[in-house]
Amino acid sequence: MPFKCGYVTVIGRPNSGKSTLVNALVGRKVAIVSPKPQTTRLRIQGIVNRENAQIVLTDTPGIHKPASALNQQMMEEVQQSLDGVDILALVADASVDFGAGDRYALDWVRRFHGKSFLILNKIDLFRDKRKLLPRIEIYSRDHTFTEIFPVSALTGNGMPALEKSLIEHLPEGVPFFPQDQFTDQPERFLAAELVREKAILKTREELPHAIAVLVDTYEETEKLLHIRATIYVEREGQKGIVIGKGGLMLKQIGTEARLELESMLGAKIFLELYVKVLPNWRDNPAIVRQLDWHRQLEQLSEER
Ligand code: GDP
Ligand code: MG
């Protein structure tokens, strides 16, 4: 069987179950920080790895804006943000009536030139599946979807069929990301990069590229985003530089990275930094693989 790999962008009204669906496909909870509209890579949410396929799932914030606020400029940006996307998946809460928000979301799909899926979610909330038909009719009046799937992202009902079909409709290709990783999202990448940037900036002369930063844990709680990251250096002396007198340098690096991240992500952040000596970390497969993923991500977003 050929390997399938591609991008699936998930859109829909708030509360339609997009996050639940993404988590269900990925197979674990992907921490989600409501991202301000930023670059393409900031929207990557999760990567689904299967033996014969890799699905890169992307969320699209801001789909709930009223149609009246829509101007030409915005539509062009929408169009651009959908460049390179293989499948656009519209998630709708089938348990509530079709409304203006659904109409607006549907307009996005109609402007998309690739394959489109209609995912009617929350079917666990009603017994009579015949209720779905009028709903499908409304959508089909204005757009011909490539596939239509009734599912429950919560119970998992219909999800295997959806996943199978998504994979079938993806193009053949090599995986964009290492397959043993990454159920991840770019805020995490951004956090690591920001810490690295501040560390290099503040310690300039002393340690140019001898450092790598990896995020160990990335947890979203009610009140804040808890990030634990490790700065890897190659020698004991470099560790001393990064930590600084009385820990002052590390504290400054952390504060600057945290402030910038907070303003970029619009979330309160608790950033915990550790420094570890790992001689020749460049030869360490586990680290290089993750850094490699970073590079791939950068390349991908440049291409798009
Ligand atoms: P999003 O705003 O589109 O990302 O929606 P969420 O994934 O955050 O889900 C919104 C609410 O709908 C949450 O309370 C979910 O638990 C619930 N939900 C999502 N999918 C389903 C489903 O299939 N069935 C039911 N009953 N609830 C669901
Ligand atoms: Mg969500």
pLDDT, tens only, 140-168? 998 999 999 999 999 999 999 999 999 99
Angle between helices 132-142 and 100-111 (to 10 degrees): 50
Answer yes or no: is the C-beta of 154 below 6 A from any ligand 1 atom: yes
Return the pLDDT at 33: 32
Answer yes or no: is the C-beta of 122 below 6 A from any ligand 1 atom: yes
Residue 36 vs residue 81, higher pLDDT: 81
Instruction: Compute the distance from residue 294 Cα to the ligand 2 centre, in Å.
Output: 24
State the residue for tokens 């920001």: 194
Return the pLDDT at 94: 93
Mean pLDDT: which of 108-122, 125-139, 159-173 is highest? Answer: 159-173
What spatial distance separates the first Cα and last Cα of the chain, rounded to whole Å?
28
Instruction: Compute the distance from residue 35 Cα to the ligand 2 centre, in Å.
Output: 10
For the stretch 257-287, what's the b/e string if a residue is b when 16 or more beta carbons lie within 10 angstroms of its beta carbon? bbebbeebbebebebebebeebeebeeeeeb
Q: In what order do the strands lie in the sheet with 212-220?
A: 212-220, 225-233, 269-277
Answer yes or no: pTM beyond 0.85. Answer: no
Confidence of residue 82 (pLDDT cuts 50, 70, 90): confident
Confidence of residue 243 (pLDDT cuts 50, 70, 90): very high
User: Which atom number of ligand 1 is nearest to the Cα of residue 12?
Assistant: 3
Q: Identify the nearest ligand to the CA of 91 by its number.
A: 1
Answer yes or no: is the C-beta of 23 below 6 A from any ligand 1 atom: no
- Opening angle at CA 71, ends 67 and 76, nearest 5: 110
Out of 22, 90, 154, 157, mutate this one to test ligand 1's pocket (max ligand atoms within 8 Å of CB): namely 154
Residue nearest to atom 9 of ligand 1 (CA): 17
CA distance 250 to 198: 10
- Structure token digits, residue 148: 């239509």
Confidence of residue 129 (pLDDT cuts 50, 70, 90): confident
Confidence of residue 186 (pLDDT cuts 50, 70, 90): low
Burial class (CB in 10 A: 0-12, 13-18, 19+), 1: exposed
User: Which atom number of ligand 1 is nearest to the Cα of residue 91?
Assistant: 3
- Structure token digits, residue 37: 């509209």
Answer yes or no: is the C-beta of 125 below 6 A from any ligand 1 atom: yes
Return the pLDDT at 288: 64
**What is the average per-residue pLDDT within 102-108?**
86
Contact 150, 129 (CB under 8 A): yes
CA nearest to 62, candidates 77, 72, 46: 77
Confidence of residue 63 (pLDDT cuts 50, 70, 90): low
Neighbours of 44 (CB within 10 A): 25
Contact 122, 94 (CB under 8 A): yes
